[in-house]
Amino acid sequence: MTKLFILLALLSPAIARANTVTPQFTTGNMTSNTVTTQTIKEVTKKEVMGAAVKTWSGTNVTASGSLSAADTTFSVKDDTKAWQLETTTRAAGLIEKWDITTDYTINSTTNSFSVFSQ
């Protein structure tokens, strides 16, 4: 008989009962503060290349020959008047170079406030 009772107890469905849960609060709130920092490094590099340049300009001045000639001389046309002479000589190659580094720091703050109730 004991075996039959154990067998019936094992085969019969069990009833599950839920307990009621009552929260211990009725209202509440939450505050959140988030602070972030971003650091950005920007590097700019630029090289400008140029051709060889050999020019002259002036007023009341004459050149004895071509500027490409090594023995070219300049002379004033009229000694009684003002004169001006400008020569430019530049070898071919790098004529300008930029190396710029810029650092950016971005700080941001997010504040949130939540209120909840039952």
Could you tell me if residue 69 is inside a domain? yes
Q: How far apart are CA 38 and CA 49, in angstroms?
A: 36
Structure pTM?
0.41
Q: How far apart are CA 31 and CA 49, in angstroms?
A: 59
6 sits in the region (left: phi over 0; alpha: psi -120 to 50; else beta) called alpha
114 sits in the region (left: phi over 0; alpha: psi -120 to 50; else beta) called beta
pLDDT digits (tens, 9 = 90+) for 50-90: 999 888 889 999 888 777 777 888 899 999 999 999 988 88
Domain housing 44: 33-117
Could you tell me if residue 9 is inside a domain? no
Q: Looking at the 3D structure of the chain, how many domains does it have?
A: 1
